[in-house]
Structure 1
Amino acid sequence: MEKHVTIDRRQFAFGSLSAAGAMALPSAAFAQEYPARPVTLIIPWVAGGPTDIVVRAFAEAAQKHLGQPIIADNKAGGGGSVGPALMAATAKPDGYTISQMPDAVYRVKIMQKTTYDSQSDFSYIIAVSGYAFGVTVPMDSPFKTWDDVVTFAKANPGKVTYGSTGTGGTLHIGMERIQKHSGIKLTHVPFKGSAEVNVAAAGGHVMLGASGSSAKPLADAGKLRFIQIWTSKRLAMLPNVP
């Protein structure tokens, strides 16, 4: 494979439309030889989480073919919206700053004023991955099922705390919908990524963790226990979790 790739603006725009998804790049005309220097990859989560691991793997594979380093830069916060917002505000539209784009980027403008337009200010180049989400508890938690949570929460409104990857993120919105469906009130504790959520839940700093497959290593180690998964069918890797 050639060491360098040549991408003109028209080709890139077509590629972004046909592969719209999670990785975003400011729109700009590319030089004939790209990249001619290192590329910065913004990861809008704390290090060690599932997205961080997946995106870093993409970067490691890509830089071998591009012939230039791809430098990961974790900019966590805002349910994953801080990193892309930083890119929109500070990066030149030259292709040398890219960012993973979580779906919170599209929701945040509904909740507050933003300095960027998620549809017009970025060019999308590839879909990275999807996730399986669910709810965890510490191993010594008295909650054995979601029904246990509902029963306690109805008797103690607001007493049950849960951690998520940030306000407005998929896990936060998911938990809000579940609360409404179950007729309960929980207290949200936002973190900067699933790695922080998992550690907080395992340590009992929150009573529930809204997380996903990233929590499985701690579950396998006997630190966490899944009590529900947000899928239409049970997962093969968690066959006993409803």
Structure 2
Amino acid sequence: MTTPLQRLRRALVLATAGAALAAPFGTAHAQAFPSAKPVTLIVPWPAGGSTDRHHRALAEIASKYLGQQIIIENKPGAGGTLGPSSMAMTAKPDGYTISQYPMGMLRIPHMNKVQWSPINDFTFIIGVSGYTFGFVVKSDSPHKTFKDYIEAARKQPGKIDYGSTGIGTSPHLLMEELADKAGVQLNHIPFKGNADLMQALIGGHVMAASDASGWDKFVDNNQMRLLVTFGENRTKRWPNVPTAKELGYGIVSQSPYGLVGPKGMDPAVVKTLHDAFKKAMDDPKHAEVLATLNQDPWYRTGEQYKSWAIATYAKDKLLIDRLGLAVK
């Protein structure tokens, strides 16, 4: 038989052990993602462009559903690959650092030697949207139509230039593909992003620009003329502007993008981020932002996004090989 004193001692031991077991759980629960600090979302383009505008709005809406602030960090360079690749190489896979993942991530490794894998070094979180690409000139340009621009290039091989948001980006490759089909030689000038490119065009430092819809306000203000777009159909916002497909080039480009983190992220953390951004995508305020940018939603789960990336990585190698841009 146990004495009352022994029973008291046993109860104290059990209570102490229970408290010891409960303390780590309580601490872990208190630090559950994303309670520790704000989440950093890397935008691999300069501030002010269409991608930056979209992600700042998306982050603001998603912060409400995540219960934690999402801070934008602009990290342009290397055709949009510097931000995501540096994140993959240096950030902890704890969910507090994520990045936009542009199409260049699946193309530039075919064109240059890189120290990262576009598939294996990332955790795919969610597919978000895709761009509306267009080709613009200044409003006082002698090229009134896209045909005028191509004819000028035919008469002056290599002397008619255009700028894009970087080597290997969709705006660059779609123009190289188009030039190949048209049988002309264009002079490509790469920039870090939309903001730099637009300044160069307004300043007369480049004849034309191939880019996503960051040129929208300049077109609407009659500072630039939109000559062609690259969607499946004409845009609702600029219905008088023909598509490249209409003009006989057969090129359609949307360039989907989404959000990724470093490899090895906890699936529970991925789900928390996915769910917050999915709610943000479904928010009416986000629909308004996409309408302003003339973009459509491109929702994919993390697994669907990864499967798409694997297939696109293989497919785009064929395009890059055909254009003679593959790394030797």
Counterpart position of 2:32: 33
The SS at the match of 1:128 is: strand
Structure 2 CA distance, aligned partners of 1:146 and 1:131? 20
Is 1:161 aligned with 2:161? yes
CA distance in structure 1 between the partners assigned to 2:42 and 2:221 by the alignment: 31
Q: How many residues are aligned here?
A: 212
TM-score by length of 2: 0.62
Percent identity of paired positions between Structure 1 and Structure 2: 49
Deviation at 1:106, TM superposition (A): 0.9
The residue number in structure 2 matching 1:74 is 74
- Alpha-carbon distance in structure 1 between the residues aligned to 2:231 and 2:62: 32
The answer to whether the Cα contact below 8 Å between 1:49 and 1:193 also exists between their aligned partners in 2 is yes
Matched, 1:203 2:193: no
What is the distance in 2 between the residues matched to 1:162 and 1:43?
Answer: 24
Letter paired with 1:84: P
Contact in 2 for aligned 1:84/1:101 (Cα 8 Å): yes
Query: 5 Å matches for 1:68-217?
Result: 68-217=68-217
The 8 Å contact of residues 198 and 211 in structure 1, kept in 2 or not, is answered as no
- Match of 2:129, SS? coil
CA distance in 1, matches of 2:177, 2:66: 43
Q: What is the CA-CA distance between 1:32 and the residue it aligns to? A: 6.8
Quote the residue 1:23 is aligned against.
none
Match of 1:195, as an amino acid? A
Do the aligned partners of 1:55 and 1:128 also contact (CA within 8 Å) in 2?
no
- Secondary structure of 1:206 counterpart: coil
When normalised by structure 1's length, the TM-score is 0.84
- Output the amino acid matched with 1:144: K
Question: Per-residue displacement from partner, 1:174-225 (whole Å, max 9, x unpaired)?
Answer: 1100110111111111111122222222222110110232211101111100
Gaps of 5+ in 2: 1-29, 243-328
Residue 139 of structure 1 contacts residue 202 of structure 1 at CA under 8 Å; is this kept in 2? Answer: no
> Matches of 1:142 and 1:116 in 2, distance apart?
44
Q: Contact conserved, 1:134 with 1:212, CA < 8 A, in 2?
A: yes
Quote the offset at 1:65 in angstroms: 2.9
Equivalent residue for 2:237? 237
Cα shift readout 1:110-130 (whole Å, capped 9, x = no counterpart): 111211111111111111211
Q: Aligned partners of 1:108, 1:196: CA distance in 2, in Å?
A: 21
Q: Which residue of 2 aligns with 1:5?
A: none
Secondary structure in structure 1 of the residue aligned to 2:130: coil
Query: What per-residue deviation string (whole Å, max 9, x for no partner) do you get for residues 2-54 of structure 1?
Result: xxxxxxxxxxxxxxxxxxxxxxxxxxxxx971012121111100001111111
User: Which structure's relative contact order is higher, taking Cα pairs within 8 Å and 6+ residues apart?
Assistant: 2
2:37 and 2:216 map into 1 onto residues whose CA distance is 38
Following the alignment from structure 2 to structure 1, what is the Cα–Cα distance between the partners of residues 83 and 141?
A: 34
CA contact (8 A) 1:161 1:186 kept: yes
Aligned positions of 1:7-86 closer than 5 A:
33-35=32-34, 36-86=36-86
Give the whole-Å Cα distance in 2 for the aligned partners of 1:221 and 1:165.
22
CA distance in 1, matches of 2:158, 2:78: 22
Greater Rg over alpha carbons, structure: 2
Aligned to 1:28: none
Task: For residue 226 of structure 2, give the secondary structure of its aligned residue in structure 1.
Answer: strand
1: distance between equivalents of 2:65 and 2:213? Answer: 30
CA distance in 2, matches of 1:85, 1:233: 33
Runs of 4 or more, structure 1, over 6 Å off, are none
Aligned-residue Cα RMSD (Å) equals 1.5
What is the CA-CA distance between 1:157 and the residue it aligns to? 1.0
